[in-house]
Chain A
Amino acid sequence: MANKIIVKNASMSFGKLKVLDNISFSVKENEFISIIGPSGCGKTTLLHLIQGFTKQTKGFIKTHGKKGFVFQDHNLFPWKTIQENIEIRNNTKQKIDVILENVGLKPFSDYYPSQVSEGMKQRAGIGRCLAYNSDVILMDEPFGSLDYLTKLKVQEFLTKLWKKKGLTIIFVTHDIDEAIRLSGKIIVLSKLPAKILKIIDVDKSKSNIIKKEVLDLIQNDSDPK
């Protein structure tokens, strides 16, 4: 399968602060990759570089396909209804109806973001990417603020959507269980300046072993030498 995203020797600094150090990995079409690491290690920065919000100070990042970004706080425009937010970059009415059905928000299409739940807002954020015809979706801790049951429901929805649409997803999270549940591969980042500690292929039958491995990697990295 073709590579949708190639990151080669990417480093990022903000002034004197080096955030990312020599990051290299690739993501194939229809892969679901999670990026995990300690808080503040640069996961969001890496995602922003891939999206193109900012440019890396060194190295090379190339993406194929149309990128969509799902933000940590959904970032729906408060002055637009759910439907208007989703269709902002797509004017095909029929397709919007289908997308609203797909994300389970058709009954709430005329509601404003302030009138719906956090889980619905996140689904609307995903719907917005689908309406934009994104085949590569970057997700920055999208379910962090949801309660456990809502999180499970939205995760299930995302998994079904990923399989149905053949999407390529990079998913940033600090929740190891979530990473194992959703993805086929986990990239473990170190503390600042972030390097890749390991890229782990996920075997869901060995989730406990993988979880321990990830925890050990992060723990060993954070222990003072």
Chain B
Amino acid sequence: MKNKKPIYLFLLILFVLIVWQFSGLVFNLNKTLYPTPTNVFTAIFESENLFLDLQTSILRLIFGSLIGILFGVLLGIITGHFSSINETFGKFINFFRFIPPLALVPLFLLWFGIGEFSKVGLLAWTCFFPVWISSHNGVKNLENKYLLVAKSLNIKGFDFIREVLFKGSIDYILNGTRIGVGIAFSVLIAAEMIGAYAGMGYRIFFLQSVYRVDKMMGYIIILGILGIIIDRLFLLISKKITPWKNGE
């Protein structure tokens, strides 16, 4: 019974593709505005810029996310462990969490131009907050008994931060990272639509202006697939990093 599930999913996808393919014929739809699956897949293969656009978007996402994750984890550990810092600095930073990242796109473009810095910076900003909050909660929720163990063994300083606070909160951190990167991905596409010369978001916006709906849909489907791959990759990495949870 367990092995039959992928087949049902495959059959469902096939059914949707068939309905989509033949609805164009049945309802005599305009092929330019409502391309069929075969139009879309042909368009994907004809896209000369696809590889470059994918590479550009993925690299922006990686760099922006890494910066956001680094600062998010660092600040999360600090505010989670030192309540005095959280009461001042933490609460101050928290105000910025409620600003929608997309509202900052015009500002970042004016300040940093249309180059990579504005987009990577925006992604770092976007990814930072979920990672910060999750890391903070992970450290805060670390059971007091583990802090007592560290105290009894005189584990201090960087060893304490690395071996107890960081590793003890790793599943919270991973969860926050997964959410942060997911949101950053959406923001990336929107930011590329407004200010970029390459990338998946830029290309989709450009294709709209030249009425290439078939290529647009191809790019959108690839974005969906990319999102699934990123998410699955996260699950795989999480499993590798937290082997003690695999037996639970």
Chain A residues within 8 Å of B, Cβ to Cβ: 51-53, 67-69, 71, 73, 75, 77-80, 88-89, 112-115, 128, 132
Check B4 for interface membership: any CB of A closer than 8 A. no
Compute the total of residue contacts between A and B using a CB distance below 8 Å: 48
Task: Give the Cβ gap from B247 to chain A, nearest Cβ, in Å.
Answer: 5
Stretch at the interface among B11-19, B38-46, B59-67, B146-154: B146-154
> Which listed residue (B153, B170, B248) contacts A89, Cβ 8 A?
B153
Check B2 for interface membership: any CB of A closer than 8 A. no
- Given known contacts A67-B152, A73-B145, what 18 new A-B pairs fall within 8 Å (CB)? A53-B148, A53-B151, A68-B153, A69-B149, A69-B152, A71-B149, A75-B149, A77-B149, A77-B164, A79-B167, A79-B242, A80-B167, A88-B155, A88-B163, A89-B155, A113-B244, A114-B244, A132-B153
Question: CA A89 – CA B159 in complex, angstroms?
Answer: 10
Check B168 for interface membership: any CB of A closer than 8 A. yes
Task: Give the Cβ gap from A75 to chain B, nearest Cβ, in Å.
Answer: 5
List the B side residues contacting A77 at CB < 8 Å. Answer: 146, 149, 163-164, 167-168
Closest to B163 in A: A88
Check B243 for interface membership: any CB of A closer than 8 A. yes
Please, could you name 16 A-B residue pairs with CB atoms under 8 Å apart, sorted by A? A52-B151, A53-B148, A53-B151, A68-B153, A71-B145, A71-B148, A71-B149, A75-B145, A75-B148, A75-B149, A77-B167, A77-B168, A80-B167, A112-B243, A113-B244, A114-B244
List the A side residues contacting B167 at CB < 8 Å. Answer: 77, 79-80
List the A side residues contacting B163 at CB < 8 Å. Answer: 77, 88
Question: CA A80 – CA B154 in complex, angstroms?
Answer: 17
List the A side residues contacting B155 at CB < 8 Å. Answer: 88-89
Question: CA A128 – CA B153 in complex, angstroms?
Answer: 9
Task: Give the Cβ gap from A24 to chain B, nearest Cβ, in Å.
Answer: 24
Question: CA A134 – CA B144 in complex, angstroms?
Answer: 22
List the A side residues contacting B247 at CB < 8 Å. Answer: 112, 114-115
Task: Give the Cβ gap from B67 to chain A, nearest Cβ, in Å.
Answer: 26
List the B side residues contacting A88 at CB < 8 Å. Answer: 153, 155, 163
Chain B residues within 8 Å of A, Cβ to Cβ: 145-146, 148-149, 151-155, 163-164, 167-168, 170, 242-244, 247-248
Question: CA A89 – CA B242 in complex, angstroms?
Answer: 22
Closest to B145 in A: A75
Which one of B152, B153, B170 has the highest number of Cβ atoms from chain A below 10 Å of its Cβ?
B152
Q: Knowing A75-B148, A88-B163 touch, does A114 contact B248 (C-beta < 8 A)?
A: yes
List the B side residues contacting A52 at CB < 8 Å. Answer: 151
List the A side residues contacting B146 at CB < 8 Å. Answer: 75, 77
Question: CA A88 – CA B162 in complex, angstroms?
Answer: 12
Residue contact B154 to A89, C-beta cutoff 8 Å: yes
List the A side residues contacting B242 at CB < 8 Å. Answer: 79
10 nearest interchain CB pairs?
Answer: A112-B244, A69-B152, A89-B153, A75-B145, A75-B149, A79-B167, A115-B247, A114-B247, A78-B244, A79-B244
Task: Give the Cβ gap from A67 to chain B, nearest Cβ, in Å.
Answer: 7
Residue contact B168 to A79, C-beta cutoff 8 Å: yes
List the B side residues contacting A128 at CB < 8 Å. Answer: 153
Question: CA A71 – CA B146 in complex, angstroms?
Answer: 10
Question: CA A115 – CA B170 in complex, angstroms?
Answer: 19
Closest to A76 in B: B149
Task: Give the Cβ gap from A61 to chain B, nearest Cβ, in Å.
Answer: 15
Residue contact A79 to B170, C-beta cutoff 8 Å: yes
Question: CA A222 – CA B243 in complex, angstroms?
Answer: 49
Closest to A78 in B: B244
List the B side residues contacting A68 at CB < 8 Å. Answer: 152-153
List the B side residues contacting A115 at CB < 8 Å. Answer: 247
Question: CA A51 – CA B153 in complex, angstroms?
Answer: 11
Question: CA A51 – CA B149 in complex, angstroms?
Answer: 11
Which one of A71, A80, A88 has the highest number of Cβ atoms from chain B below 10 Å of its Cβ?
A88
Question: CA A51 – CA B247 in complex, angstroms?
Answer: 34
Which one of B151, B153, B242 has the highest number of Cβ atoms from chain A below 10 Å of its Cβ?
B153
